[in-house]
Structure 1
Amino acid sequence: MSDELILYTNPQSRGMIARWMLEEVGVPYRMVVLEYGAPMKAPDYLALNPMGKVPTLVHNGAVVTECAAICAYLAETFPEAGLAPRPHERAAWFRWLFFGAGPLEAAVSNRALGIEVPAERERSIGYGSFTRVMDTLEVAVSASPYLAGDRFTAADVYLGAQIGWGLQFGTIDRRPAFETYWARLAGRPALTRASATDDMAG
């Protein structure tokens, strides 16, 4: 295949975000499911992703890891899907995509591990406090129907997946603004397809 896309993933992982993005892009791809443990630490896979984690996207031999990077890469590589930002959307698109990959991911992960940042150390931590992150996330989803403006983009795939999971598993605050925003995304056909395929693979 001259334009081969391979996604290494596991149904119980952040790979679901990459699967959703691929379904939104609408191009053919092959999925390779790796079990946790030895398969993700095997030399052949570590040569692709030294972190020994999923997802990993391989496109014609080029390797992309990290969900936010995969979403951005696919949006730019397949512009016909309309998931990359238009010029006037670029600031918000990059801002919230990287907010999700940085402060939100770190704050939610630390909260899940029971790690609370002491008030006197907040300025030493990139995200400050969990509450500040939730307040900022509420600003992000309340300013316009979608993160970059009035239309759905790759930023909504990445941040939206985190909000959807957070609401499902209780790792983010259950605020009306988050529920309203997630309701706009939850019924997207691409997400339905990605979820169904992951359910079968799991």
Structure 2
Amino acid sequence: MTIKPKLWHCYSSRSLRPLWALAEMRLDYDLELLPFPPRMFQPDYLDINPLGTVPFFTDGPVEMTESTGICLYLVEKYGGDLGVPSSHPDYPDYLNWLFHSDATLTFPQTLVLRYSQLEPEERRSVAIVEDYRRWFLARLKRLDQHLLSREYLCAQRFTIADISVAYALYLATGLGLDQFFTPQTKAYAERMCSRPAFLQVEPLGAEQSLFTPQPYPFGMDFDSLPGAKK
């Protein structure tokens, strides 16, 4: 019996990256939908992934927890045209965008989300939210410049680098940060998130979700926001 790849996923979380890649590649896979955060709302998940995070991915004996790493594994193992070979001139750029997507673009947003919506009211912090909002926007400068003359990030075609970076922009949109996007970055995000495979998988898990990021009211009087010092 053939064992299919399996992905554990929460709606709108980083597990959307490999889920989107699986859909684009038209691979046969199993999907387990979880509420967010699963370590709180489905504690038995810790028996599967002690980190309690998503994604969690298996493929036979393979176990993985990093969203961009799973995407890279899929194209390296199963082929198709979503990867870029090491012989291609854009290969270094391809790798850089893959790692940039999470370490540089998604990381500051997780702090915006945590300290504006996930922490208990008394632990929320306008100062942290504003600091990491500015951090994220400053880290968009390279992408803004790169997209002035490109439809895709590398190799003049859609790759998992686009999936990885577009997810970061999707998350930013959910937090209301898209109001600060340059025109080319906003147009790129809209193009990527209009792809049929994305539209197919993006809603998955929404009904099980007990939490969905809400746009943070950037630009308002910070003294009136939750967590502001009085």
Matched, 1:141 2:147: yes
Distance 1:198 1:184 in 2: 23
Seen in structure 2, the aligned counterparts of structure 1 residues 110 and 15 have a Cα distance that, compared at 3 Å, is: same
Per-residue deviation, 1:100: 1.0
Query: Does the 8 Å CA contact 1:58/1:64 hold for their aligned counterparts?
Result: yes
Residue 156 (structure 2) aligned to one of 150, 165, 170: 150
Per-residue deviation, 1:63: 0.5
Matched, 1:27 2:27: yes
Distance 1:41 1:142 in 2: 47
- TM-score, normalising length from structure 1? 0.81
> Which residue matches 2:108?
107
Seen in structure 2, the aligned counterparts of structure 1 residues 102 and 52 have a Cα distance that, compared at 3 Å, is: same
The amino acid of 1:39's aligned partner reads: Q
Distance 1:164 1:107 in 2: 14
Seen in structure 2, the aligned counterparts of structure 1 residues 156 and 188 have a Cα distance that, compared at 3 Å, is: same
> Which residue matches 1:123?
none
Deviations 1:41-74 (A, max 9, x none): 54521xxx33111111100121111111111111
Query: Does the 8 Å CA contact 2:12/2:171 hold for their aligned counterparts?
Result: no
SS at match of 1:88: coil
Structure number having the greater helix percentage = 1
> Which residue matches 2:83?
84
- TM-score, normalising length from structure 2? 0.72
Of residues 178-187 and 56-65 in structure 1, the stretch that sits farther from structure 2 once superposed is 178-187
Cα RMSD over matched residues? 2.5
Per-residue deviation, 1:187: 1.9
Query: Does the 8 Å CA contact 2:8/2:54 hold for their aligned counterparts?
Result: yes
Distance 1:38 1:180 in 2: 36
Residue 170 (structure 2) aligned to one of 157, 164, 182: 164
**Any unmatched runs of 5+ in structure 1?**
119-127
Distance 2:47 2:112 in 1: 34
SS at match of 1:105: helix
Query: Does the 8 Å CA contact 2:68/2:98 hold for their aligned counterparts?
Result: yes
> Which residue matches 1:96?
97
Distance 2:20 2:161 in 1: 12
Per-residue deviation, 1:23: 0.4
Seen in structure 2, the aligned counterparts of structure 1 residues 109 and 196 have a Cα distance that, compared at 3 Å, is: closer
The amino acid of 1:101's aligned partner reads: D
> Which residue matches 2:42?
39
- Please say which structure displays the higher CA radius of gyration: 2
Per-residue deviation, 1:136: 1.9
Query: Does the 8 Å CA contact 1:7/1:58 hold for their aligned counterparts?
Result: yes
